[in-house]
Chain A
Amino acid sequence: MRTSVPSSGTTAARGALLVAFLLAAATACGAAGSPPARGPQPGELPHYAVAEGFSLPSSSTWRSAHRRGKLTVGVKEDQPGMGEKNPATGEYTGFDVEIAKMMAASLGFDPDEQITYKAIASANRETALQNGQIDYYVGTYTINEGRKKLVGFAGPYYIAGQRLLVRQDEKHLKGPQDMAGRKICSAVGSTPLQRIESDYPRAVAVAYDSYAICVDNLLNDQVDAVTTDDTILLGYAAKDPAHLKVVGRAFSEEPYGIGVPRQDRALARALDKALTARERNGDWKRAYEATLGLSGRPAPKPPRIDPSLTR
């Protein structure tokens, strides 16, 4: 213990000062409200007629929600255009959120007053439905065999497909056939990425932690395209239609369903009925146009409800 080393106590003190300063600076001055948000605007969203005197005594989920006077709905918080939480205001917007709202209205709950949103990450969806943390889940939830064993589904309410998001000035990349030698970005470990790697070996697959990083790199010319479900891509394009567009035919089919507790068939059937009604009276289309439609892509025809899901 001989060498002389400068005491680092002072370094710590300086660090502490810095923290104090940052905290003080953060709390001392701040503009009210939130930074301007692009994409779906809360003021321009459709309103859904609440079903008066609706009752569903055969559904245990509905009964307990009715007793509480509130529905708890699981959504995504980080998917622009589908389910996104405004960090500053805490408001949720997006197509999935609109579906959640119109379903609540059909179940007799006021969408503006009687919904508690709960952000649930993809990995925890089944758990949240199984142990009753949420009444139903609307969040880019693809119906598949494995999940059907764990949870119940209503819908599908949208058929998504894997497509490409490119820059608005992109001339050559028009679909999966043009991907050879181009940098195609997706989230690490995701199904869309695996599809690119196995089916299109000539494309240069780039994997990042989240789609946001892919989109940032797309806007900064580091990659040539982002690929995943077109819903997610349309959500980003809706935020910045001047610079981004979704191209190509879909090269996969992902039916999105509303997740419900597995044993509650009555709820799933009620949601199916509600979806059919909302598709017929134009609410579904209005919801699309106020959210994903901002990307410039017109509303597709809503998919047919799959009755085998609730049998």
Chain B
Amino acid sequence: MSLSALSPKRAPATGQAAPSALYDVPGPRARARHLVYGVVASLALLALAAWVIHLLVDTGQFAYVKWRPFGYVGVQELLLRGLGNTLKAFALAAVLALALGAVLAAGRLSEHRLLRWGSTLLVEFFRAMPVLVMIFFVFVALQVPALPALVTGLTLYNGSVLAEVFRSGVNSVDRGQREAAYALGMRKTQVMVHVLVPQAVRAMLPTIISQLVVALKDTSLGFLITYEEFLHAGRLIAINMDYTMPFIPVVMVVSAIYIGLCMLLSWFANWVARRERGNVKNEAVPVAPAEAASTMPGTRM
């Protein structure tokens, strides 16, 4: 995933030929040794995989009855409805978080001291709080239904993180750009809207998308406040005795789809990052590596 973004292309891809702090270009003996290690490691891996598969087969996880429920339209619709609810929460949270991020970033970049302090306080507070605490607060204390509670929590948290992303994006635009714009007689808002923000968004796009992956992952927190999202649908099938309680098959299907979706979005972030790096027009703007916003909630201090 974002790994290739972390290790930019270098040295022709001849496997392990590139010298590094860790090892030289291997000679014939080292190559032979590595081959042995490789074979041993592969065998160990194969043995592990075989053991897991044996365990699964042994407990009848691939039996027809365990997978039969997925063949029925009703069950598929239930899963798709759950997935639809997950994506709905994600879409709402993403749009609102982007909007909130823009507002808070504008606040932090403002020249009015009060506005700046207020925005800073909000951003720092919401980034320091576990997103689940916010969701539970809205759900339990304010007695808001599950979907709005989930979306509110996700928006506050991701909006605050995105505000920081936007702000550092605007600050990363070369000073000359701003000065040139002012010299042309543009007003502050014009400079912001026409000169700084377009360049900042461009530079920060991979980071923004990476943060959206976090939002997508965190929609699963809705499961904990009984929002009828994807995991909820999966659980309903898994604990059903008529379907012989297919715990493992449900976990397999649900994980594959959930992880696949997140990987797809992460991969998109990397693709954008690579494309941006290759773009000559952006040379003046240092492109934030995807690593800057690791796909973990709140990885910045």
Measured CB to CB, the residues of A under 8 A from B are: 1-5, 7-9, 11-13, 15-16, 18-19, 22-23, 26-27, 29-39, 77-78, 80, 85-90, 121, 123-124, 127, 130-131, 133, 210, 212-213, 215-216, 220, 236, 239-240
Q: Is the interface of B mostly helix, strand, loop or mixed?
A: helix
Q: How many contacting A-B pairs (Cβ < 8 A)? A: 149
Inter-chain CA distance A228–B298, complex, in Å, is: 41
Least Cβ distance of B189 to chain A in Å?
A: 40
Q: Is the CB of B72 within 8 A of A31?
A: yes
Inter-chain CA distance A7–B10, complex, in Å, is: 12
Q: Select one of A1, A3, A23, A239 contacting B242, CB under 8 A.
A: A239
Q: Is the CB of A3 within 8 A of B7?
A: yes
7 A-B pairs with least C-beta separation: A88-B74, A19-B260, A12-B267, A212-B239, A2-B20, A30-B73, A7-B4
Q: Is the CB of B78 within 8 A of A212?
A: no
Given contacts A12-B263, A22-B256, A38-B241, contact A5 B73 (CB under 8 A): no
Q: Is the CB of B7 within 8 A of A34?
A: no
Residues of B in contact with A, size category = 35 or more
Given contacts A22-B256, A212-B241, contact A31 B20 (CB under 8 A): no
Q: Is the CB of B241 within 8 A of A236?
A: yes
Inter-chain CA distance A18–B253, complex, in Å, is: 11
- B72 surroundings in chain A (CB, below 8 A): 30-35, 88
Q: Select one of A32, A90, A240 contacting B241, CB under 8 A.
A: A240
Q: Select one of B1, B74, B79, B240 contacting A12, CB under 8 A.
A: B1
Q: Among the listed stretches B11-19, B40-48, B172-180, which one makes contact with chain A, having 4 or more residues with CB under 8 Å of it?
A: B11-19
Least Cβ distance of B275 to chain A in Å?
A: 12
- B20 surroundings in chain A (CB, below 8 A): 2-3
- B1 surroundings in chain A (CB, below 8 A): 8, 11-12
- B16 surroundings in chain A (CB, below 8 A): 4
Interface residues of B in 43-98 (CB under 8 A from A): 59, 68-80
Q: Is the CB of B236 within 8 A of A85?
A: yes
Q: Is the CB of B270 within 8 A of A16?
A: no
- A78 surroundings in chain B (CB, below 8 A): 235-236, 239
Q: Is the CB of A9 within 8 A of B267?
A: yes
- B36 surroundings in chain A (CB, below 8 A): none
Asked whether any CB of chain A lies closer than 8 Å to the CB of B21, the reply is yes
Inter-chain CA distance A16–B17, complex, in Å, is: 31
Q: Is the CB of A239 within 8 A of B241?
A: yes
Asked whether any CB of chain A lies closer than 8 Å to the CB of B299, the reply is no
- B14 surroundings in chain A (CB, below 8 A): 4
